[in-house]
Structure 1
Amino acid sequence: MTTPFETLGRGLRIAAVAAAGLGAMTGAALAQDYPDAGETLDWTIAFGPGGGNDIMARTMVDIITKYDLYPGNIRLENRAGGSGAVGWGYLAAQKGNGYAISTTSGSLITTPLQADTGWKPSDFTPIALMATDDLAIMVRGDSEWKTIEDYIEAAKTTPPTIAGTGTVNVDFIVPKLFSEAAGFDIEYISFNSMADMQTAQLSRAVDSLVANPGEVVGLVESGDMRALVYSGTKVPPELGEGVPTMAEVGHDIGVSMPRGVILAPDAPEAAKTYWIETMKKIAETPEWAEYIQGNLLTQNIIYGDEFEAFLTKTQAGFEKVLREQGVIN
């Protein structure tokens, strides 16, 4: 004879099994439902218009739109300030949201090293590293400094002003390491956008700037700017003839800027999977190949957990450099 307690226990076990089954079905349904065409994708650009981060994000969205890789609307927002702290701080606050996304730069790594941002790179959901780029030191086309040797010689007497995007990031690390190696000082001036930097350079408010070649090719072609030296291993011909690498003038620094894609912290696994697969599709398009070539980047693609490991390793390397330079304690 079955007691009331045994009947109750059997009922509870059946209910638990049913609930587990319902939970699994719900999870499967959620995975199938992502992305919801009714949800607007909120894409944060952590810097102002015209810079490398902005160009990459808008290129990706153009490709996504052309090939129908996302079924809903996409809202691009430039949330500039604090060397990326404002934009990525906004993304960090969207914890668990699979519809909050951003493109990255070196500032994702360096900004939390120098300020209490409340987030670090590993907090975000890693999607993909898509490329890396290197930087050139630029002067005006009519500058008295015709070569990097001219620049260094003058700098040993009067430290030049040099503009970069953000405060303590790759734009700061590259000229700082180079100047230390070459035996001169610099006065680094931070800007939130490439457009502001270019205006300052052309109006003679700063002596020089550091930029990705793709951001200044037009100004090189027009003669408004001249490249003096390049941090990468091979100088893009678009920078002009006779431009040396830092290694060629005896001061190799070995630093590149990572450009990738992240989601908000703790984004659903379905969202992570979807965007990894989407980035794979983007990387195979002719438009992406054109972007890489046109912006003089190095295609360097890794996904998911490998990208997270890359960010962690790169942050450790950047932290070592900044501590050695006395920039952070």
Structure 2
Amino acid sequence: AAAAAVLPLALSACGGEDGGNTNADGTWEPNGPIEITAPAGTGGGWDTLARTSARLLESEGLVDQSIQVVNKPGAGGAIGWAYIAGNEGDPQKLFVTSPPILLVPMAGDSEYDHEDFTPIARLATDYIVYLVPADSELETFDDLVETVDEGDANIGGGSAPGSMDHVALAGAIDAAGGNAAAASYVPFDGGGEAMTALLGGHVDAAVVGVSEAAGMLEAGELRALAVSSPEPVEAIADVPTLLDQDVDFTFDIWRGVMAPSGLDEAQVTYYEDLFADLLETQAWQEESASLGWTDAYQNSADFGAFLDEKRSEFTEILTEVGLQ
């Protein structure tokens, strides 16, 4: 009888079909490698967040298990989301996320939206930069708008048509008094590809996240006409905001972590606490500052409510600039 009573507790402590260990006190922890999916290719904002988080979680000793980053590019993120959706209930698979998780489904280009996944935590806010080649004749954002109105600008972005970078471009052009519909938007699979196309002369300008562009801006390979933040960003302090140029528009790229559906409360709590601890480390503070990120932590419940709110806001923006 004693052995029979101990058996359920032993099985619980050792873990089971949930892919982790459930302890006697009801807490949970993974018992194997954690996988973080970036739903795009290397070099973009999703990839940067996934790899930065994984590296620092390990180097700061916050996890006992290894963390693997996998890239699932394609369809503006939809390929990666389908992969995660196919792993319902697996608490050792995470993915990084940002506005396209709302915008791509709204455009009808993904059968999955944010409600099909488990919000874990919002981590940071990034902003958009409007880039041109270092030797471009364009000096201000108004110069770019004038070129767009003349029908002479192909502008690359790291997200699908009607998604994050496209909305940030169209909204800014509209606020500057230009014709957003005249902008020839060229989608790429991530900001890294968009900047490569810009360097190669395949597009005239590009719209990407600050964290994606910081390295090339510092190296002088590209030049930023404006940033979409309400105030200058420390990592690119010499780049004027749109507001500085009398363009009444801001756009923030919130970045966070989600998981498949079907996680229980203990599993969600483990990851909420894990990422909260990460944001408190000096290593994260230093690296996020160099990438132009601003910490904006929200737990699972708050992040879920935030996503619902942002979907409503995006509906208004898309209607206003004629993208919906």
TM category, shorter? 0.7 to 0.9
Q: Tell me whether 1:180 sits opposite 2:174 in the alignment.
A: yes
Residue aligning to 1:31: 22
In structure 1, the residue matched to 2:240 is 244
TM superposition shift of 1:24: 9.3
CA shift in 2, pair 1:239/1:42, >3 Å: closer
In structure 1, what is the equivalent of residue 279 of structure 2? 283
The equivalent of 1:126 in structure 2 is: 119
Partners of 1:220 and 1:22 lie apart in 2 by 60
Distance 1:56 1:98, change over 3 A: same
**For the structure 1 residues 237 and 66, does the alpha-carbon distance in structure 2 shift closer, same or farther, using more than 3 Å as the test?**
closer
Shift of 1:81: 0.7
Cα RMSD over matched residues?
A: 2.4
Structure 1 residue aligned with 2:159, among 145, 166, 180? 166
In the alignment, which residue of structure 1 is the partner of 2:313?
317
Q: 2:87 aligned with 1:94, yes or no? A: yes
Structure 1, residues 265-313: CA drift from partner, whole Å, max 9, x if none? 1112221111011011101111110122011112111101011000111
**150-159 or 120-129: bigger deviation:** 150-159
User: Secondary structure of the residue that 1:248 maps to in structure 2?
Assistant: helix
Question: Match for 1:115 among 103, 108, 112?
Answer: 108
Partner of 2:147: 154
1:143-187 CA distance string (max 9 Å, x none): 111222322233321241111111122211111011122213311
Larger radius of gyration: 1
Structure 2 stretches lacking a partner, 5+ long: 16-20
Mapped contact 2:54–2:68 kept (Cα < 8 A): no
The Cα shift of 1:227 comes to 0.9
Q: Which residue of 1 aligns with 2:258?
A: 262
Query: What is the TM-score normalised by the length of structure 2?
Result: 0.87
The runs of 4+ residues in structure 1 deviating greater than 3 Å are 21-30, 237-241
Label 1:323 to 1:221 Cα distance change in 2 as closer, same or farther (>3 A). Answer: same
What is residue 205 of structure 1 aligned with on the other side?
A: 202
Matched, 1:299 2:295: yes
Is the partner of 1:35 in helix, strand or coil? strand
Distance 1:214 1:36, change over 3 A: closer
Counterparts of 2:285 and 2:85 in 1: how far apart (Å)?
30
1:35, 1:70 within 8 Å by CA — same for their partners in 2?
no
**Paired letter, 1:308:** G
Distance in structure 2 (CA, Å) of the matches to 1:255 and 1:151: 18
User: CA offsets per residue over residues 224-243 of structure 1, 9 Å max, x none?
Assistant: 211111111112354363x4
- Return the letter of the residue paired with 1:31: T
* Secondary structure of 1:281 counterpart: helix
Q: Match of 1:7? A: none
In the alignment, the residues of structure 2 paired with residue 46 and residue 237 of structure 1 have an alpha-carbon distance, to the nearest angstrom, of: 28
TM-superposed deviation, 1:26 = 6.9
Cα drift, residue 111 of structure 1: 1.1
8 A Cα contact 1:35 1:71, kept in partner:
no
Query: How high is the sequence identity, in percent, across the aligned residues?
Result: 29
TM-score by length of 1: 0.86
Task: Give yes or no for contact 2:198–2:206 (8 Å, CA) kept in 1.
Answer: yes
Q: Given the superposition, is the C-alpha separation of residues 68 and 322 from structure 1 closer, same or farther in structure 2, using an over 3 Å criterion?
A: same
CA distance, structure 1, for counterparts of residue 7 and residue 216 of structure 2 = 61
Count residues in correspondence: 308
* DSSP 3-state at the match of 2:245: coil
CA distance in 2, matches of 1:304, 1:23: 30
Q: For 1:277 and 1:147, how far apart are their aligned partners in 2?
A: 43
Conserved? CA contact 2:35–2:93, under 8 Å: yes
Aligned mates of 1:132, 1:148 — CA distance in 2: 22
1:2-21 correspondence runs (5 A): none
Decide which moves more: 266-275 or 132-141. 266-275
Measured in 2, the distance between the counterparts of 1:232 and 1:43 equals: 28
Which letter maps to 2:175?
A
State the alpha-carbon separation in 2 of the partners of residues 61 and 221 from structure 1: 25
**How far is the alpha carbon of 1:49 from its aligned partner?**
0.6
Indicate the SS of the match to 2:244: coil
User: Retained in 1: the 8 A contact 2:58–2:66?
Assistant: no
- Aligned to 2:91, what secondary structure does the other structure show? coil
